[in-house]
Amino acid sequence: MSGLVHSINISSGGVPKRTVDSAKIGKKGVEGDFNRFRDGQGGDLDRAVCIFSLERIEELKSEGHPIEVGSTGENLTIRGVEWDSLVEGARLEIGDVVLELSEPCAPCSKIGESFIDRRFGRVDHVQEFGWSRWLARVVREGTVSIGDSVNIVIT
């Protein structure tokens, strides 16, 4: 399965994240992006990068949600991937970067403005299977750019 990088999103804190053309991705995540999980004491490297689907964003918009690319805190927005087929342990090869999905990303109130009546549970993996963002650890560091191909290997 393959797709493309639609956007790369970073923020010095909070949402929405702004889009950049390219970024280095290291073990602690996307350069220039603050993440309380990995930047705190010790850091959680399993949550280095947050990924979401452009198609899911577009579907949510068609339901009337005021969601935009980067408004739910994702670092990479990708398109062309069968989102509900993703599983923990799947690897995403993006240029010279390799990411491994570690867990669905639990939604929180900080992304509430992206949803009608702040119903951010709309992207909760348990409540709405196949609609969550995904968290990933960095297996191989490198640089990603908008338009890079995304090859997904599910083992």
What are the chain's domains? Answer: 2-153 (2.40.33.20)
| pLDDT for the residue numbered 146 | 98
Q: How far apart are alpha carbons 13 and 25 in whole angstroms?
A: 17
pTM exceeds cut of 0.75:
yes
| pLDDT for the residue numbered 4 | 98
Percent of the chain surpassing pLDDT 70? 95
100: enclosing H helix or E strand: strand 97-105
Mean of pLDDT values over 13-21: 95
DSSP-derived 3-state class of residue 93: strand
Q: Across the strands, what pairs with 103? A: 135
Contact predicate 97/70, CB 8 Å: no
121 DSSP 8-state letter:
G
Contact predicate 15/137, CB 8 Å: no
Structure tokens at 23: 């970024």
Contact predicate 84/13, CB 8 Å: no
| pLDDT for the residue numbered 35 | 73
| pLDDT for the residue numbered 37 | 61
Q: What is the pLDDT of residues 48-78, one digit of tens each?
A: 999 999 999 999 999 999 999 999 999 999 9
Q: What is the pLDDT of residues 70-111, one digit of tens each?
A: 999 999 999 999 999 999 999 999 989 999 999 999 999 999
